[in-house]
C-alpha cells in the first residue's frame, strides 16, 4: 500500500510560499483514505493547504497527538470544513495544560491547552473516540498511547504544569500519542511532540508491539529538552531500529537537528511545512 505524508504545519518551511508557525500538522494519504494528525495553532493550515492544492474533503479520521494549543488550534476549522468526522484522541485531551513562563511567581502564567470544549467541537460535527492504550484504529494504522514512561527518559521541561487541587504539579501529559503506520516494508513512526519521551515510545513499540525495525521516524522528537549526551543516545537508539529516514519537525530543536543531520547524512530530512514523504 502506497503512503504519502505531507507536512501541513511546522515551525519551518520547505520552500518559499509556505507559512511557518509554531506547531505541527500532517496529512496521511493511503490509497483512497485520508487522515490528519494534529491541526497546528490554526493560522497556517488553511494557507498551506491552498498552496499544496489540497483539501480535507472525504477525510476519514483526525488523530490528535495531545491537547496543546499548537496542535489543536485548527481543529474546529477542520471539522467545519469536513462536516461530520471522527476524532481519535486520548481521554485526557482536554486536560488543563498550563505553562510557567517565569520562575519569579512560581505560578502558571497561561493556559496552553485546547481552545475548544468537547461539546463545542461535537456541535461542529466531531465524533470523539477516546483511546487510552495502543491499538489499531484503521487498517495498518496504530494509535500509540498509554506508554508507561521511564521518568529518566522524559523530556526535561519543568515549565509544563497541571492543576491538582489547589496547587500545580508537573504535567504528566498522559494524552501524548503517536502513530505507527504499516508499509510494505518496515513501519513508519509518526510523532506529534513525543512528550512521553522518544526513548520510552521506541521501547514501547519494541517491547509491546514487537517492532524491531522502522522505515522512518517523522515529526517532533522533543529532543530540544534533552541534554547533549541524550542526543547522542537518541542517535544510537534510532540506529537500533535500522531507520532508513529521520525527518524531524517542530520541537526537535536546532542543536539536535544539526547532530542528527551530521550523523544520518542522506537519511536525514527536515520535515518542514510543504515537505512530502512517499513510502
Q: Can you give the pLDDT at residue 166? A: 85
Q: Can you give the pLDDT at residue 172? A: 95
Q: Can you give the pLDDT at residue 104? A: 60
Contact 161, 117 (CB under 8 A): no
Domains and CATH numbers, the chain: 3-278 (3.60.15.10)
Q: Can you give the pLDDT at residue 59? A: 96
Three-state secondary-structure class, residue 199: helix
Which residue is it, cell 532508513?
244
Give the chain's mean pLDDT: 95
Q: Model-level pTM? A: 0.95
pLDDT at 155 over 90: yes
Alpha helices, DSSP H only, in 20-167? 44-51, 69-72, 75-82, 118-124
DSSP strands (E only) in the chain: 3-9, 25-30, 33-37, 61-63, 85-89, 98-99, 110-111, 126-130, 135-138, 141-145, 160-164, 167-170, 177-181, 188-191, 216-220, 245-249, 268-270, 276-278
Give Cα 148 to chain centroid, integer Å.
Answer: 18
pLDDT at 108 over 80: no
**Torsion sign (Cα): 117, 160, 86, 48:** positive
Contact 38, 28 (CB under 8 A): no
pLDDT at 130 over 70: yes
pLDDT at 8 over 90: yes
% of the chain with per-residue pLDDT over 70: 97
Summarize pLDDT for 209-250 with one digit per residue, the tens.
Answer: 999 999 999 999 999 999 999 999 999 999 999 999 999 999
Summarize pLDDT for 156-168 with one digit per residue, the tens.
Answer: 898 999 998 888 8
Amino acid at each position: 500500500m502506497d503512503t504519502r505524508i505531507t507536512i501541513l504545519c511546522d515551525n519551518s518551511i520547505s520552500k518559499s510560499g509556505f507559512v511557518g508557525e509554531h506547531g505541527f500538522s500532517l496529512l496521511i494519504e493511503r490509497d483512497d483514505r485520508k487522515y490528519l494528525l494534529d491541526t497546528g495553532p490554526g493560522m497556517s493550515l488553511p494557507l498551506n493547504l491552498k498552496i499544496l492544492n489540497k483539501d480535507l474533503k472525504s477525510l476519514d479520521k483526525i488523530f490528535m497527538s495531545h491537547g496543546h494549543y499548537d496542535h489543536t488550534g485548527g481543529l474546529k476549522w477542520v471539522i467545519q470544513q469536513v462536516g461530520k468526522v471522527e476524532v481519535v484522541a486520548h481521554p485526557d485531551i482536554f486536560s488543563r495544560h498550563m505553562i510557567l513562563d517565569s520562575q519569579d511567581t512560581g505560578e502558571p502564567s497561561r493556559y496552553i491547552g485546547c481552545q475548544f470544549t468537547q461539546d463545542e467541537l461535537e456541535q461542529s460535527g466531531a465524533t470523539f473516540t477516546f483511546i487510552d492504550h495502543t491499538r489499531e484504529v484503521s487498517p495498518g494504522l496504530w494509535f500509540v498511547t498509554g506508554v508507561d514512561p521511564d521518568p529518566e527518559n522524559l523530556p526535561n521541561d519543568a515549565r509544563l504544569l497541571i492543576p491538582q487541587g489547589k496547587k500545580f504539579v508537573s504535567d504528566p501529559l498522559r494524552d501524548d500519542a503517536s502513530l505507527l503506520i504499516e508499509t510494505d516494508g518496515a513501519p513508519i513512526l509518526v510523532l506529534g511532540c513525543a512528550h512521553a519521551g522518544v526513548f520510552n515510545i521506541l521501547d514501547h513499540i519494541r517491547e509491546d508491539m514487537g517492532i524491531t525495525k522502522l522505515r522512518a521516524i517523522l515529526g517532533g522528537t522533543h529532543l530540544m529538552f534533552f541534554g547533549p549526551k541524550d542526543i547522542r543516545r537518541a542517535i544510537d537508539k534510532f540506529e537500533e531500529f535500522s531507520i532508513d529516514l529521520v525527518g524531524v519537525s517542530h520541537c526537535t530543536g536546532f542543536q539536535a537537528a544539526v547532530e542528527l543531520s551530521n550523523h544520518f547524512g542522506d537519511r536525514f530530512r527536515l520535515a518542514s511545512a510543504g515537505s512530502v514523504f512517499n513510502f
